[in-house]
A and B are shown apart, each in its own frame.
Chain A
Amino acid sequence: MQFKRVSLQSIGKVFNPTYSGYALIAMCSALVVACGGGAGDNGIVVSGTAATGAPMQNASVSMRCVSGSATGVTDSTGKFSVYAINAVAPCVLEASNSITKLHSVVGAGSNNAVANVTPLTEQLVANLDSSAVDTAAFFNSFDASKASLLSSSSIATAQTAVLTSLASAGVNTAGITDLIKAPLVPRNGTQAGNAYDQLLDTVAATPVVVKLIALNDFHGNFQEPSLTNGGTVTLANGASTKSVSVGGAAYIASALNSLRAANPNNITVGAGDLMAASPFASAINHDESTVDILSQMGVEVSSVGNHEFDRGITELKRIQNGGCYPAGYGQGVVGVDTCLQTGGTFAGARYKYLAANVTDTATGKPVLPATYIKRFGTVSVGFIGLTFRGTVNSVGAGGVAGLRFDDEATVINTYANKLKAQGVTAVAVLIHQGGQTTASTFADPTCPGFSGDITAILNQLNSSVDLVVSGHTHQEYVCNFPSTSAGKNILLTSTGFYGQALSEINLTLKPGTGLVSASARTVPVIKNISANTSTPLPAGFSAFDKDSTIDALVTRYTNLSTTAGQVVVGSVTGDIKRALLSNGTLDQTNESALANLIADSYLTGVPGFTADVAFVNPGSVRADILSTVSGKTTGTVLYSELATIEPFGNTLMSLNLTGAQIARLLEEQWEAPNHTAKTNPAAGTVGRILGVSSGFTYTYNNAAAAGAAKGSGARVDSSSIRINGAALDPTRVYKVVTNSYMATGTAPDNFTIMATQGTNKVDTKMLDLDAFIAYFRANANVASPAARVTRLN
């Protein structure tokens, strides 16, 4: 037996650190002789060979046992021997060089053991338990609490799984039945290796095709999306086109089953915004329904998107880990809007959310895992999940408070190198950032005219990255992006939005070699209904039936949302509407009665809270209150209506402004660039008119020039500004309430005064929707507010 330099250490045991490595080798050798080939009563000797086919030469070998540890180095033939004094098995082994990192195990009761370290023992370790799939992490965290995972039966079961997977892949195992202890002689120069080594060569040369199925920007659309908003896609049909209806979780599940049936080596992944900004049926239960459905559809891992942070990190962790929504303000009622699963529970997402670039600023630690590893027999794929850095500016302050969003490319490169060093065969990035093509039909494989924010990221990635699954832009594409930094084409996919399609991605991988080839196509989730199939679908496309299990779940959650949404929360004397353009779309350039009413709810909706004035950005008001609507009693206001009007989950924040600052805030309504952001040519009005609370009035001159530079607008008659009848005092400090979107950032909707000059900011933690509900519960027969803004000219 040849020995290289061996270093020893002991955890919690007496050890003389003055021993040199070579002296210890001598001691170890003596022990081998004295004990008849074994270690002493208080130590463990483990010897073996580390090889991938070729020997792992001069590789570092580390051993961690239930008690005790040791390190060593392999020789030129891959052989090693390590000795841990005062150690107790079972143990895990790690052999690593600059190229790869492999693991193995030593069962309990062994103090003189043989343990090879090979790609097959790596696979064995990964099969021990779900917590061992990330073998490097398993090794690093191994302690007595995980000893049970290394029982002889567990090891045998894991080994059987490896041998079975080899057999199913058509690999002849040549009689090798003990992957840990079988004699292993790697090839050396012209000398061929033995049977085990030849098995490793065969495995290394045998490609494995892995299928990734991806979706993004689902936004809780488990019901079939509206045909005019995500529910239709246009396919090329020869020289013509054909529009088909798509989406709905029951159809998606069927499409998933179909794709999975083609290859058992598959995984379903997401690229963020799977929930939030959702239809009422999902929003009413804080997206618990969506999470349950996606879990039961078999989604396994997803990046976070910006919308996953809409309700803050605490809520996102609840979505991941389970538990009921906090009770209060009529919400958090078990069985109504939360904990809708058996026994009044919510188990959380079965899939793992990844957030590699999101850190808790208080602790400096990641808020969610950064990576996820999936093994497919002899190969593995490491996933890195993250959202775009600008998430911090696209979500209300309450959603991202205390979080840091780091540079995407830097984070990806760091983890990609780490995953490759850990030995994963390929690295896939799940990122909530994307681009756009100029394709005019769905599933155009040519990726024409690709552009967008993700291109800068792709051109900073290193060569460790093999695939990028993207989202955010609601576009569909499959591109081979020529990354200048990686020096290769990187496959890039996105599926559109609301579950209208899936990306089918096929990776051909070889152990030890990595990605051999990659291809992808977009599979639209075409419903198998006569409207789609009465004329033939274009070649290459299929329609899907509903999956009955998921369909039943969709029905159940739809019925629950119907019950919850029917709750009457108030009453009105007539319609209360936003300002509307002649074509019926939102007019932000004129005063909105509904925005004013919402401002009233800001002012009075927080119990025990008082302020002088409230402001509401008109773009945050998403629908009107109509007194008479089919399906409800005239004059009533339903929970579902208010949830539709205020869907963003903003919290209410207070801040202090001087009277002069309030006057400047009003001028920002028309200062550049707001004067061109919103226009109403018919009325001759421009800008964004804030909703203001009761008692706040002012007059402005619409004939005065708009578009002045920041700080120089002069449309408001400053003497006209009144708060409860009193003239605005430029020097007095007023307490203002607005939503968290407007109170933070740098220039939300081009307003800067509140966000950047407001002082003593306090997040009330009160959701705007909750305040609106509270307002209606406190005030019966609410009427449309009278005008509070006087427009001259």
Chain B
Amino acid sequence: MRSIFLSLLLLGLAGHSPAGLAAGAPALDAAKAAALHDAAAQAQDKCFKEMYRDPNAYGLCIRELSRAQTAQSVEQLGVLYFGFVGALSYMRVSQAGATPLANEFLKSFRALQKAKGISDTELCASVPGNCELRIGQTLAMERAAPMAPAKSLIPVCKAGVCRLEGQ
């Protein structure tokens, strides 16, 4: 499975220039690409199922797993990148709490991605999905105005009926 992934990954990298970072030679050799993928897969396996139950638990799980990796490593990047992708997958269905998490992990993986010199295309290939769309969404989120801090849901009463709504 891993060798198939690597083949697909390397094929996918061919001819793609980094979208969010300066173009250049791929920064990832096969071993690092596999390590990136495996770290993201580990984050998916360990943390993703928390997302629908409790986005906070998902965030904590990703942060904890990230801290368990060697600082500034591709493994840490893989975990943080999956943290973003997992939250983004719940942003598409407007799950409460998904957007702040996606923005948080976007910020954290971006810093590490730049430090490692890894292109958007290389990074995106570590998690299955439509990379053209995902990279576009990533850039659009970065271009958007910074989000206000996450607010809790509060009861709002209208005509005597109270519902939980975002502040």
Q: Check if A and B associate.
A: yes
Residues of A within 8 A of B (CB): 226-234, 236, 239-241, 279-281, 436-442, 444, 446, 448-449, 451-453, 472-476, 496-497, 500, 558, 561-563, 565-566, 580, 582-586, 622-624, 626, 629-632, 638, 640-641, 643-645, 676-679
Q: Taking the complex as formed, is B15 at the interface, i.e. its CB lies under 8 A from any CB of chain A?
A: no
B165 / chain A contacts, CB cutoff of 8 Å = 226, 228
Give the docked Cα–Cα distance between A441 and B89 (Å).
Answer: 7
Q: Are B159 and A234 in contact (CB under 8 A)?
A: no
Q: Taking the complex as formed, is B69 at the interface, i.e. its CB lies under 8 A from any CB of chain A?
A: no
Give the docked Cα–Cα distance between A438 and B45 (Å).
Answer: 12
Task: Mark the stretch among B27-35, B48-56, B70-78 that contacts chain A.
Answer: B48-56
A585 / chain B contacts, CB cutoff of 8 Å = 56, 150-152
Q: Are A241 and B137 in contact (CB under 8 A)?
A: yes
Give the docked Cα–Cα distance between A441 and B129 (Å).
Answer: 10
Q: Are A631 and B158 in contact (CB under 8 A)?
A: yes
B91 / chain A contacts, CB cutoff of 8 Å = 234, 440
Given known pairs A226-B166, A679-B60, the reply for A631 and B92 (CB within 8 Å) is no
30 CB contacts below 8 A, A to B, read A226-B163, A227-B94, A228-B166, A230-B96, A232-B94, A240-B133, A241-B136, A280-B163, A437-B129, A438-B44, A438-B86, A438-B89, A439-B92, A439-B130, A440-B91, A451-B48, A473-B49, A473-B52, A474-B90, A474-B95, A476-B92, A584-B152, A585-B152, A622-B153, A623-B153, A629-B162, A631-B158, A645-B155, A676-B60, A678-B60
CB distance from A569 to the nearest CB of B (A): 12
Q: Are A241 and B157 in contact (CB under 8 A)?
A: no
A630 / chain B contacts, CB cutoff of 8 Å = 156-158
Q: Are A676 and B92 in contact (CB under 8 A)?
A: no
Given known pairs A239-B136, A439-B130, A631-B158, the reply for A580 and B152 (CB within 8 Å) is yes
CB distance from A716 to the nearest CB of B (A): 24
Q: Are B161 and A561 in contact (CB under 8 A)?
A: yes
Give the docked Cα–Cα distance between A583 and B162 (Å).
Answer: 22
Give the docked Cα–Cα distance between A279 and B167 (Å).
Answer: 17
Q: Are A281 and B130 in contact (CB under 8 A)?
A: no
Q: Taking the complex as formed, is B146 at the interface, i.e. its CB lies under 8 A from any CB of chain A?
A: no
Q: Taking the complex as formed, is B134 at the interface, i.e. its CB lies under 8 A from any CB of chain A?
A: yes
Q: Are A233 and B94 in contact (CB under 8 A)?
A: yes
Tell me the chain B residues, 21-66 only, with Cβ under 8 Å from chain A.
44-45, 48-49, 51-52, 56-57, 60, 64
Q: Taking the complex as formed, is B93 at the interface, i.e. its CB lies under 8 A from any CB of chain A?
A: yes
Of A229, A561, A631, which one neighbours B95 at CB under 8 angstroms?
A229
B92 / chain A contacts, CB cutoff of 8 Å = 233-234, 439-442, 476
CB distance from B63 to the nearest CB of A (A): 9
Nearest neighbor of A631 in chain B, beta-carbon distance: B157
B157 / chain A contacts, CB cutoff of 8 Å = 629-632, 638, 640-641
CB distance from A392 to the nearest CB of B (A): 16
Give the docked Cα–Cα distance between A313 and B127 (Å).
Answer: 42
CB distance from B156 to the nearest CB of A (A): 7
Of B88, B93, B167, which one neighbours A584 at CB under 8 angstroms?
B167
Of A449, A451, A496, A632, which one neighbours B160 at CB under 8 angstroms?
A632
Give the docked Cα–Cα distance between A241 and B90 (Å).
Answer: 15
Q: Taking the complex as formed, is B142 at the interface, i.e. its CB lies under 8 A from any CB of chain A?
A: no
Q: Are B160 and A583 in contact (CB under 8 A)?
A: no
Q: Are A239 and B133 in contact (CB under 8 A)?
A: yes
Give the docked Cα–Cα distance between A678 and B56 (Å).
Answer: 8
Q: Are B130 and A640 in contact (CB under 8 A)?
A: no
Nearest neighbor of A587 in chain B, beta-carbon distance: B152
Give the docked Cα–Cα distance between A565 and B151 (Å).
Answer: 25
CB distance from B58 to the nearest CB of A (A): 11
Give the docked Cα–Cα distance between A239 and B130 (Å).
Answer: 10
Of B48, B56, B154, B159, which one neighbours A562 at CB under 8 angstroms?
B159
Q: Are A228 and B128 in contact (CB under 8 A)?
A: no
Given known pairs A451-B48, A676-B60, the reply for A586 and B161 (CB within 8 Å) is no
Q: Are A640 and B162 in contact (CB under 8 A)?
A: yes
Scoring B60, B94, B136 by chain A CB atoms within 10 A of each residue's CB, the highest score goes to B94
Give the docked Cα–Cα distance between A640 and B96 (Å).
Answer: 21
CB distance from B6 to the nearest CB of A (A): 17
Given known pairs A436-B48, A562-B161, the reply for A644 and B155 (CB within 8 Å) is yes
Given known pairs A440-B130, A440-B133, the reply for A474 and B52 (CB within 8 Å) is yes
Q: Are A444 and B130 in contact (CB under 8 A)?
A: yes
Of A228, A582, A677, which one neighbours B94 at CB under 8 angstroms?
A228
CB distance from B134 to the nearest CB of A (A): 5
Nearest neighbor of B91 in chain A, beta-carbon distance: A234
User: What are the 10 A-B residue pairs with the smallest beta carbon separation, nearest first?
Assistant: A566-B160, A449-B128, A448-B128, A583-B149, A631-B157, A232-B94, A448-B129, A640-B162, A229-B96, A584-B151
CB distance from A751 to the nearest CB of B (A): 16
Scoring A449, A472, A582, A622 by chain B CB atoms within 10 A of each residue's CB, the highest score goes to A449
Nearest neighbor of A247 in chain B, beta-carbon distance: B94
Q: Taking the complex as formed, is B85 at the interface, i.e. its CB lies under 8 A from any CB of chain A?
A: yes
Given known pairs A439-B129, A629-B156, A640-B162, the reply for A500 and B136 (CB within 8 Å) is no
Nearest neighbor of B82 in chain A, beta-carbon distance: A438
Q: Are A584 and B150 in contact (CB under 8 A)?
A: yes
A472 / chain B contacts, CB cutoff of 8 Å = 52
